[in-house]
Amino acid sequence: MREGDLVEIAVLNVNIDEGVSIHWHGVDVPNAEDGVSGVTQDAVLPGQRYTYRFKVHQSGTFWYHSHQASSRQVKRGLYGAFVILPRGSLPRTLDLAVVAHSFSGARTLGAHDGIDRRAAAPGTPVRLRVINSDSFSRRFVLSGTRFRVAAVDGTELNQPGLIEGKTLELAGGGRYDLTFTMPTRTVQLHWLGARAALALSPDGRGALPEADAGQKFDPADYGSPARTRFDASSDFDRAFMVKIEKRFGFLDGRFGRHWAVNGKLPPEFPTHIVSEGDVVKMTFVNDTDEDHPMHLHGHHMLVLTRDGEPVTGSPWWSDTLNVKPGERYEVAFRADNPGLWMDHCHNLGHAADGLVLHLAYEGVATPFMVGTRNRPE
Ligand SMILES: [Cu+2]
């Protein structure tokens, strides 16, 4: 589809007993189309049909997945790439969406758990849209060419420079667009630690380049700064803290060490309440020993600082920000999409274990209930 298109997608649940709903990850749709069962709709039960309809105002790399019992359903394959091309005519490009996913241990890129070889004529502009549909951070290497990270989480970067050999670590749910001009030799996108790879060469054959893991690519100092509608020096209308830790207590009647936010266990997590137009600062602190890819629905977050250090490269907009153990991020967003939105960890097992917050616009309530039928996580 293209930016500006009115998109209609009919979802028919043939035989998934627990129901489904489809969320458009990273696409800032109107709230009613967000596809979260129990928040923006009821789960679609077997035999039922549900139609989503929205205009796409962004262009870039997104994905869709079930938001009903998502920790099980996404793992088992209820997901896909969702690519929105920019307006206007495009140069002829080899444009490939590459979804990385683990099926009970088998690591796949697209439909391949081995090497997917394809022919690409030298001189062809190539865009690889790498999507991590797993719950855990995954690392990739693109070898055989210099390249640019043209976009992060569906948002183009400003003046991304040529890089080579860097390890690309993608948050669970995150996306990087990699662009390069096809050389005369083989280029390989390799999932580190897996057999899965995508190899492009002029004749679809040939020796594969070494896939050495280099220094980690860091969006925080990549590309050039540009003006944004707000930045670290803005006056914020609201400021929220999300400090993630583990605490002993009861969750659904189970005693144990559970995910806590600001010292509280769910359901006593804070709900972040905003008014339309607010410029909001949010601070994420990870006081645990696991990554938490924090995914805010309906909005993109501008990353301001990491561990107190300002972002010095291109404006870095994220919808799925990986907060690693010990890290602290400050982000900002404009509350410009009224509704009731999830803001949750996209390690879907963590979400199922309660690591889910909500962003609520003043005066907005939902008629849908989380309970027996609707289980968004
Ligand atoms: Cu998490």
- For the stretch 72-83, pLDDT in tens is 999 999 999 999
pLDDT of residue 89: 81
Query: From ligand 1's centre to the CA of 181, what distance in Å?
Result: 37
Q: What is the mean pLDDT of residues 9-13?
A: 98
pLDDT of residue 371: 82
% of the chain exceeding 70 in pLDDT:
100
Asked if domains 91-217 and 238-361 share a fold, the reply is: yes
Query: From ligand 1's centre to the CA of 126, what distance in Å?
Result: 33
d(CA 125, CA 175): 19
- Whether the Cβ atoms of residue 119 and residue 202 lie closer than 8 Å to each other: yes
pLDDT of residue 128: 98
pLDDT of residue 93: 94
Query: From ligand 1's centre to the CA of 348, what distance in Å?
Result: 8
**pLDDT at 49 > cutoff 90:** yes
pLDDT of residue 18: 95
Query: From ligand 1's centre to the CA of 257, what distance in Å?
Result: 14
What is the band of 263 on the pLDDT scale with cuts at 50, 70, 90? Answer: very high
Query: From ligand 1's centre to the CA of 6, what distance in Å?
Result: 34
pLDDT of residue 309: 97
pLDDT of residue 190: 96
Query: From ligand 1's centre to the CA of 194, what distance in Å?
Result: 23
Query: From ligand 1's centre to the CA of 136, what distance in Å?
Result: 9
What is the band of 33 on the pLDDT scale with cuts at 50, 70, 90? Answer: very high
Among the listed residues 139, 144, 208, the one whose alpha carbon sits nearest the alpha carbon of residue 169: 139
Query: From ligand 1's centre to the CA of 313, what distance in Å?
Result: 26
Query: From ligand 1's centre to the CA of 156, what distance in Å?
Result: 26
% of the chain exceeding 90 in pLDDT:
90
- For the stretch 110-128, pLDDT in tens is 999 999 999 999 999 999 9
Query: From ligand 1's centre to the CA of 352, what distance in Å?
Result: 10
pLDDT of residue 206: 86
d(CA 334, CA 23): 21
Query: From ligand 1's centre to the CA of 322, what distance in Å?
Result: 9
- For the stretch 203-229, pLDDT in tens is 999 888 887 789 999 999 999 999 999
- Whether the Cβ atoms of residue 171 and residue 135 lie closer than 8 Å to each other: no
> How far is CA 69 from its chain centroid?
18
What is the band of 345 on the pLDDT scale with cuts at 50, 70, 90? Answer: very high
Query: From ligand 1's centre to the CA of 205, what distance in Å?
Result: 40
pLDDT of residue 95: 97
pLDDT of residue 127: 98
Query: From ligand 1's centre to the CA of 174, what distance in Å?
Result: 14
Please provide the DSSP assignment of 145-213 as one string: S-BEEEEETTEEPSSPPPB-S-EEEE-TT-EEEEEEE--SS-EEEEETTSS-EEEEETTS-SPPPP---
Q: What is the mean pLDDT of residues 254-278?
A: 95
Query: From ligand 1's centre to the CA of 71, what distance in Å?
Result: 12
Query: From ligand 1's centre to the CA of 350, what distance in Å?
Result: 5
pLDDT of residue 257: 95
Query: From ligand 1's centre to the CA of 64, what distance in Å?
Result: 19
**pLDDT at 100 > cutoff 90:** yes
Give the CATH class of 91-217.
mainly beta
- For the stretch 232-255, pLDDT in tens is 999 999 999 999 999 999 988 899
Structure tokens at 156: 């183009």
**pLDDT at 372 > cutoff 80:** no
Identify residues whose C-beta is under 5 A from ligand 1, the ion: 292, 345, 347, 350
**pLDDT at 164 > cutoff 80:** yes
Q: Where are the domains of the chain?
A: 91-217, 238-361
> Looking at the domain that runs over 238-361, which CATH code has it been given?
2.60.40.420
> To the nearest whole number, what is the mean pLDDT of the chain?
96
d(CA 142, CA 138): 13
**pLDDT at 193 > cutoff 80:** yes
Q: What is the mean pLDDT of residues 20-28?
A: 97
Query: From ligand 1's centre to the CA of 208, what distance in Å?
Result: 36
| E strand residue ranges, 214-353 | 238-251, 254-261, 271-274, 279-286, 292-296, 301-306, 309-310, 317-318, 320-323, 328-334, 340-345
